[in-house]
Structure 1
Amino acid sequence: MPRYDFRCRACGATFEVNRPMTEAGRPASCPDGHDDTVKLLSTVAVTGRVGGAPAPSGGGGCCGGSCGCG
């Protein structure tokens, strides 16, 4: 189940809520009972193997092995 991050505007607390994607836009109350919250944008880090293939190495960016800087 996806996890969504929220921040309370009243007390400044940040907290997480687990809920189905169909309820992603629903507001959430903070653990202290305040209703003035905002949903935060979350980042997802994906590492490791995809479909059993090794993660790509090198790359096309600077210091990826092809520009001679590293």
Structure 2
Amino acid sequence: MPRYEYRCRSCGDTFELSRPMSESAAPAECPAGHADTVKLLSTVAVGGSSSAPAPSSGGGCCGGGCCG
């Protein structure tokens, strides 16, 4: 079951809830009982692209000549 992160606008607490994807947009109450919460974006959803360089056709480090 996916975990979603929320932040309470009343007290500033950040908390996580495990819930089905079908309930991801449903309101969440913070552990202190406040109802004014907002769902946060996960780093996985925000960081969808890779910044790692593409592998070279030389076969990696040893095939690329960097292993002297």
- When normalised by structure 2's length, the TM-score is 0.65
- The residue that corresponds to 1:13 in the other structure is 13
- The residue that corresponds to 2:33 in the other structure is 33
User: Please, which of 32, 53, 59 is the counterpart of residue 54 of structure 2?
Assistant: 59
- The residue that corresponds to 2:64 in the other structure is none
- The residue that corresponds to 2:42 in the other structure is 42
Once the 2 structures are TM-superposed, how far is the Cα of residue 58 of structure 1 from its aligned partner?
Answer: 4.8
Higher relative contact order (CA 8 A, sep 6+): 2
1:43-69 Cα distance to aligned partner (Å, 9 max, x none): 227xxxxxxxxxxx8517xxxx9xxxx
Choose between structure 1 and 2: higher helix proportion.
Answer: 2
Quick one: distance in 2 between partners of 1:43 and 1:24?
A: 16
User: Which letter does structure 1 place at the counterpart of 2:27?
Assistant: P
- The residue that corresponds to 2:65 in the other structure is none
Moved over 2 A (4+): none
Per the alignment, do residues 58 and 8 of structure 1 end up closer, same or farther by CA in structure 2, a change over 3 Å counting?
closer
